[in-house]
C-alpha cells in the first residue's frame, strides 16, 4: 500500500543537540512538506519541496533544515538554534505543488520533546 | 493578514447532524479543504470546494461561499468514531501555500 512513513514516532532531544526526523513516501508525489502542530494552533509550514534537489522556506523555517536528494525522501533536521522545538511534526506530500485540487497526504507524525 | 477561524470545540449526539463552520481571510483563493484528524494521528482528506455550493460525499457534505469567505462541513448520522478534530484549510495564490485553521474538536456522545 502506498503512503508516507515518518520515524521515529517519539523523539527526545537534549539541549544543544541536532535531531533528524525521517519522512519517506512511495506515492510517487513530486511535492513534499513539513509542518509543525502545536496545541490550539493550525499546522504551520516549515519547509516544502516541489522537486528533487529543490526546497523552499515556509513560514517558520528558522532553526530547521531539510534536504531532498531523492524523490521519496524529505528529512527534517531540528537544529540547536530552534529554541522551542517541542511539538508534533507532520510530513505531507501531494502530486504537485500548484495543482488546485490536490489534497495533501500526511504521515502519522513525530512527537519531539526536550529532555 | 491571513486568518482562518473555526470553533474550538463542539459536542453532538450519536445519530444527530452537526455543522462545523469555517471563515477565512486569505491572499487569493485556490480552493478549500476539510481534513479529519484523530488524536495523535495523521490528518486525512475529507473534501474539497473551489466553486460556490454544496459538495456531498456520503455522510459528509461541505459548502462554500467565496463572496462571504465562509465554508461549513456537515456531518450526518453521527457515529462515535466521528469524534476527532476537523481542520479547515485554504489554498491561496502561488499554488503551494495552504493555510490551516486550528481545527474544531468534535465530541460525539451516546
CB burial of residue A88 (10 Å; 0-12, 13-18, 19+): middle
Which residue among B41, B42, B96 places its CB closest to the CB of A97?
A: B96
CA distance A47 to A32: 9
Chain B residue closest to A32 (CA)? B96
Chain B residue closest to A89 (CA)? B42
CA distance A51 to A8: 24
The confidence score (pLDDT) of residue B96 equals 67
Contacts of A40 in chain B (CB under 8 A): 8, 102
Query: Using the beta-carbon criterion (under 8 Å), do B96 and A50 form an inter-chain contact?
Result: yes
Interface test with A, best of B26, B43, B99 (most A CBs within 10 A): B43
Contacts of A43 in chain B (CB under 8 A): 43, 87, 89, 100
Nearest Cα of chain A lies from the Cα of B35 at a distance, in angstroms, of 9
Chain A residue closest to B39 (CA)? A108
Q: How many CB atoms lie within 10 A of CB A70?
A: 10
The confidence score (pLDDT) of residue A15 equals 83
Query: Using the beta-carbon criterion (under 8 Å), do A43 and B42 form an inter-chain contact?
Result: no
pLDDT truncated to tens, each residue of chain B (110 aa)? 788 999 999 999 999 999 999 999 988 888 999 999 998 889 999 999 999 999 999 999 999 999 999 999 999 999 999 999 999 999 887 656 788 999 999 999 99
Contacts of B38 in chain A (CB under 8 A): none
The confidence score (pLDDT) of residue A113 equals 92
Residue B13 grid cell: 449526539
Q: Contact B24/B18 with Cβ under 8 angstroms?
A: no
Contacts of A42 in chain B (CB under 8 A): 4, 87, 99-103
Above pLDDT 70, what percent of chain A? 96
Q: Contact B62/B47 with Cβ under 8 angstroms?
A: yes
Q: What is the mean pLDDT of chain A?
A: 91
Of the listed ranges A39-53, A95-109, B32-46, the one predicted with least confidence: A95-109
The confidence score (pLDDT) of residue A71 equals 96
Which residue among A97, A103, A109 places its CB closest to the CB of B45?
A: A103
Average pLDDT over residues A40-45: 87
First-residue to last-residue Cα distance in chain B? 40
CA distance A114 to A15: 7
- Using the structure block, give the residue that is written with the C-alpha cell 465562509: B70
The confidence score (pLDDT) of residue A16 equals 85
Amino acid at each position: 500500500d502506498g503512503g508516507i512513513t515518518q520515524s521515529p514516532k517519539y523523539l527526545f532531544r537534549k539541549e544543544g543537540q541536532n535531531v533528524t526526523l525521517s519522512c519517506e513516501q512511495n506515492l510517487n508525489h513530486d511535492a513534499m512538506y513539513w509542518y509543525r502542530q502545536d496545541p490550539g494552533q493550525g499546522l504551520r509550514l516549515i519547509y516544502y519541496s516541489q522537486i528533487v534537489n529543490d526546497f523552499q522556506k515556509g513560514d517558520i523555517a528558522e532553526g530547521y533544515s531539510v534536504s531532498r536528494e531523492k524523490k521519496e525522501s524529505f528529512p527534517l533536521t531540528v537544529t540547536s538554534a530552534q529554541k522551542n522545538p517541542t511539538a508534533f511534526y507532520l510530513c505531507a506530500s501531494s502530486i504537485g505543488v500548484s495543482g488546485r485540487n490536490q489534497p495533501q497526504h500526511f504521515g502519522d507524525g513525530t512527537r519531539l520533546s526536550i529532555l | 493578514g491571513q486568518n482562518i477561524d473555526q470553533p474550538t470545540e463542539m459536542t453532538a449526539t450519536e445519530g444527530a447532524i452537526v455543522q462545523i463552520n469555517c471563515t477565512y481571510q486569505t491572499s487569493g483563493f485556490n480552493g478549500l479543504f476539510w481534513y479529519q484528524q484523530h488524536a495523535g494521528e495523521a490528518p486525512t482528506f475529507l473534501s474539497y470546494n473551489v466553486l460556490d455550493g454544496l459538495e456531498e460525499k456520503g455522510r459528509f457534505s461541505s459548502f462554500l461561499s467565496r463572496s462571504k469567505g465562509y465554508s461549513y462541513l456537515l456531518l450526518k448520522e453521527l457515529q462515535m468514531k466521528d469524534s476527532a478534530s476537523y481542520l479547515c484549510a485554504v489554498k491561496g495564490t502561488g499554488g503551494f501555500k495552504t493555510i490551516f485553521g486550528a481545527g474544531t474538536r468534535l465530541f460525539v456522545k451516546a
